[in-house]
Structure 1
Amino acid sequence: MSNYTVEKMEQIQQLLDGAVKVGKLAELEAQEAEKNASISENVVDLLKETQITRLLLPKKYGGPQIDLKTFAKIIRTVSYYNVSAGWLTYLFPLHNTLPSYLPPKSRDEVVNQGGLICDVFAPVGKAERDGDGFRISGTYNFASGVLFSDWVGLGVVMEHPDSDRPEFCMPIIPISEVTVVKNWDTFGLRGTGSNQVIADNVYVPLDRILRLEVMDSTRRPPEKDYDTEYPFYHVPFFSAFYIGFANIALGGAERALAEFKQLTEKRVRLMDNTRESESPRSQRVIAEATTEFRTAEALMEKYIQMLENYENENERTPGPAEFFAIRTKIIKSCVDIVVRLLLTLGGAALYKGGPIELILRDLISVGTHKTSLYEDSVASYGKELFGFNGETLG
């Protein structure tokens, strides 16, 4: 084994150990995060201290530049302890991939500033040409982690000067140039602090505008001399970008299973004085739920393999709807698992702040994300299987 491999393994273990620390701190502060509709600065500081926020930066900027499988494991580890913290453990480092597709000058500007990045992909804004750049306006909801970010990417459909048609783009804007409205008051994922952002005629230079459709189709940065080892340069952008949602769900469901086992081992039913762990009822539930969970895990492994092999000429090239369908199936399975566990435990599991109650609210909320909608995904995949355009980005 080479020294590089040993060093890399040690580095990965340090990141995983850091993920456990982040998760445990977020779990300790979970009720405070529920009340404040945001994780604390303590958790964000620990994400930075453990280098988790930098783990997907290109290595030229000093980041560990880890592989997709390790990234997935880190997300799942934090989510086991707290789903909202897992959400931001996913999004903060993920958004550091965005500058990797900017021209080198703007990439250096954003990365070297050192701040965190949030985004809203929904193209609800408008872009108007102004000299060598564009003026961006729009009201955007669901900017996760915006209270701790220095930059925000905002989706627009615009006429880029290098295109002959309107295309999906994302200007990268300093937070200081937009207005943040604290409007996050939701059923679940409360700790993500996914507040509103308003851009009012904000000027953005052309070289700080990401061409998202081009990024997805070419899988490359705008320059010819690029880091060929950077994992996001060899996979369809959106399918790779959305990898975290299913891993958040896996982490939450895994914790729910552990909680169910612990609670059931101690439980005695008053009606028949039966120890529940000895009852075929709960034995059947935990067996079926665990089997369903293992199936979801295997689907996630398949998803990562499909990404890793995407440019292998000997492999079948999956379409974006297939990625979409696998991802949402994992999330749906995890939600179904937790619903069944709560229904089996009965009324005692309903008290607000209990682990399974919180996990269920958070996982249902994960399932409502635009890229997690199961009914949309299977409709799209069915089209793709019959040779039609699935009409999804991934």
Structure 2
Amino acid sequence: MTVPTLSEISSRLPAHNPDSLSVTQAQQWIRDFVQSVDIVETVGLHAALGRVLSEDVISPINVPAHDNSAMDGYAFRGNALTAAAREFRIVGIAYAGRKYDGPVAEGECVRVMTGAVMPADCDTVVPQELVKSANDASITLEPGVVKPGDNRRLKGEDLAAGKPALRKGKILRPADLGLLASLGIGNAPVQRRLRVAIFSTGDELRSIGERLDEGCIYDSNRYTLHGMLVRLGCEVVDMGVVKDDRESLEAALHTACESADAIITSGGVSVGEADYTKEMMAKLGDVMFWQLAMRPGRPMSFGRIASNGKSAYLFGLPGNPVAVMVTFYFFARDALLQMMGAANDPLPLMRATSQSSIRKKPGRTEYQRGILSADTNGHPQVRVTGSQGSGILRSMSEANCMIILHHEQGSVNAGDAVDVVLFDGLC
């Protein structure tokens, strides 16, 4: 399949301003450009959590395997119910894993436990707490306490043999592992973990443990990126801090390209202010430099580079710590899931009442760090964490959600409803 260039993709999209590209336009470019990495492996269930299914899993059995009781109680023929109180003679007992094999005539019943196979000819279970009276020999039922067919789970009701149990692209969660185990399936076909190389650029950056000279700062971006990538299920190649010069950057990009499926950089290379940066990217591959109509995170580069016959997608993120996290969440994250072959529905937005006014001009998307809570009536409300500067990483640590103020949206008054995305849905 021929992969389109970024220029070809841009020509198919509505008119745009390259110096102020909207968030939705940039997201569309990325979706149209990125291809999945289709390398499959089989892993045991203990190693399958968070992995992406590479094919549908078809159930080899019916779940449940037999009609069974949904309650502890008594099983009988539903046609034996009458408009008056009725006595049933107890003829046996059925346990989960040990069924009752004898016949059950009209007017007879079998004591059953939850999960027990329904005795032959029985189609109804009355829970033991609804029985009017009971002894070792019989029970008495009042009319109307159950209807024919009540409290019986049918064979194949949850999942029929030959039907898909889990679909290709599913990110496996704990319940999915339990479902596979319940079908007797011990291994899962999954996509190979995506390999993502990360490095930071900037002559002012120092790694933890190094001396912090005047005017220098510790590099935090690699640690937030590492955490977000691990939670996404990626294998991370941490290349440390790279000097902000042509030779160092080019060498790092070659190494990253040959060892990973995607590259995420923060600072320096994303801005493209130096002429050599754009020249180098043009030499290495198909990369565009964007100025996005958003806050925080205006400068960003995106594309694909190649080295020695291998290629990797490149996400050049801004250097400010909050801008790195925002651009990762709303651009890189979806692209990486797409590369994994994961079914990737849009992040769910929820509405909450803003507890204060928020100033904003239409014409750009803003992402405010927020703290979501419930008011006295249990309704969701949200407040900003305070100063929203793109270098204030503490604001992200304090927040539990992102307030999204959309491109055409203006200022928000206290009491207005706003869209929020919970951080738990981003990771």
TM-score, with structure 1 as normaliser: 0.24
Greater per-residue helix proportion: 1
Please identify which structure carries the higher strand content.
2
TM-score (norm 2): 0.22
* Greater radius of gyration (CA): 2
